[in-house]
Each structure stands twice: as C-alpha cells, then as structure tokens.
Amino acid sequence: LGIVVAFCLGAGVGALFSVLPGRSLWHTGLFPVTFLVSALVSGASLVLAAASLTGPGGEAEKATLLTLGKYIGVLLAFECVILPAEALVTVSGGIPSHMEVLRAIAVDGPFPWVFWVLQIGLGTMVPLLLISLPKKASLGSVSAAAVFVLIGVFAFRLNFVIPQMSVGDFAQGSLNGEFFVPHMLEWNFVVFGVGVSGLLFMAVSWMLPIMPKEAAFYFELATRRRESMWSALLPSRNTGG
C-alpha cells in the first residue's frame, strides 16, 4: 500500500504542476516522471540512512541494505538522463520565459551554487561514485551516499521553486531585476520542521518496540528460512536437475 501511495502521489503532483502553463519550468511533460523518480530515490535513501543508523544490524540486514543501495544507484543514473533531457527540451524550444528560468537556475539566479554543488555534485555525482566505484561497497559508504542523495533532493526542491518564482509576473521585485530570496524566518521554519520530525521519530521509537534487541536474530532466521525454501523449490545446479 505504501508503494502504491508513493507512486500515485509522485506522479499526481508532477502531473498537477505540468499542466500549469503560467509557470514556465513546471509546464513540461517530463515533470510527472521527474517527480516519480525523485520520490523513489528520496524514499529509498531515507529508509537506508535510517536503517543503517538505528537498525539492529546483522549480516542479512546488511546485505539487504547494500542491495537497496544498488537500486538507488540505478535511480540516480536514470535521473542523470532525465535532467539533461529537460534542459535539452528547454534549449531546443528557445522560448524566452523558459530560457530565463533555466538561466536563473544554473547561471545568474540567486542560488546557482545550490544547483551545481548540492544537486549535481553532492546529491548526484558523489553518491554514484560511492555506490558504483568500489568493487565491494561497504554499508558505511552506501549510507553516506544515501545522506548525500537526501541533500541533493532538498536542493532539487529549492531549484524547483525559487528560480521559478524569481522570474515573470509573480517575482518579487522583478521590475527591478531582483530575485526572490527566502527570508531567514523561512529558513528557520524549515530547520524547525526537520528538528520536530526527528524528535517525534526518536520519541516514537523509544515508546514503541519497533526494533527490539532480538530483531537481528529474527531477521537472520527469516532470511535463512527463505533461502532454504527456495533451495527446496528450485533444482540444484550441482545435481544437474
């Protein structure tokens, strides 16, 4: 049910924004796909980071998290295809309002460093290197990649909203060539929301026995039972069956 809701929510929000002709960057057919991939990669990264930091451990859980890290790498590679495709569509169209938004994101906007350093560098390239380059990825490197991905997703959301609202009729001070920049109170509200969410998670995990001490043992036991079941159902290669 959670996967179905995540798919529907991501695709629905992307479709909602893609039919807004008054907003240049949002009015694109690739937006539903972009939102869906972003939702999948951010959700998987959050699960991996939280599980590696608070989980009970165990070889079976470690193998599961490493597999999840490989899936995150595939989604990041897919993101690396979508982003140039969106830029290519905008450049090929040559619509002045669309080009203005693209320049605001990557060249002369309020936060071009957020796009190049946080979204492309730390949020995309660094996680891809941490996941794909080592011959045998460790849980530490994969968890660090997940944290970097979350930073990149936040940067994507910032680039998605602020440059778009900095050009056109709705921009604050657009007649004077100024860009919209969030006030310190707005940044404090974001930090406050993240802090409250973390405190609620810690309180609930302390009050409810979500991950008891025996969880690692039961996780290993369930994994071995599943492997035994598959070995019994499938013919063995050694016997030539």
Buried b (16+ CB within 10 A) or exposed e, 155-183: bbebbbebbbbbbeeebeeeeeeebbeee
End-to-end CA distance of the chain: 38
**Cβ contact 105:115 at 8 Å:** yes
184, amino acid identity: M
The one-digit pLDDT tens for each residue of the chain (241 residues) are 777 877 787 777 777 776 666 566 666 667 778 888 888 898 899 889 888 877 656 777 788 889 999 999 999 999 899 888 888 887 887 777 778 888 888 888 778 899 999 999 999 999 999 998 887 888 889 999 999 999 999 998 888 777 777 665 444 444 444 566 778 998 899 899 989 988 987 887 777 765 666 666 667 777 777 777 777 776 554 444 4
pTM for this predicted structure: 0.75
